[in-house]
Amino acid sequence: MVFNARYLVWFDEILSAFLQHRGPSSTEMADHGIDFQLVRSEID
């Protein structure tokens, strides 16, 4: 069982690892005006 607050931490870690492995760097994305932002989160 996982405490619900941990899901968002895990998601952030997974997304970061995915981008480091397969995607452009955060600097390259920023140079092209791309930025990830958490706008809303809801966990049931």
Q: 15 pLDDT band (50/70/90 cuts)?
A: confident
The pLDDT > 90 percentage for the chain reads 7
- Inform me whether the pLDDT recorded for 38 exceeds 90: no
pLDDT digits (tens, 9 = 90+) for 22-37: 888 878 888 999 887 8
Amino acid at 28: E
Q: Which two tokens stand for residue 3?
A: 């405490």
Q: Are 26 and 17 in contact (CB under 8 A)?
A: no
- The candidate with the shortest Cα–Cα distance to 16, out of 42, 44, 8, 43, is 8
Q: Are 41 and 6 in contact (CB under 8 A)?
A: no
Q: Is the full-model pTM beyond 0.75?
A: no
Mean pLDDT of 36-43: 80
Alpha helices in the chain (DSSP H): 5-22, 26-31
Mean pLDDT of 5-30: 85
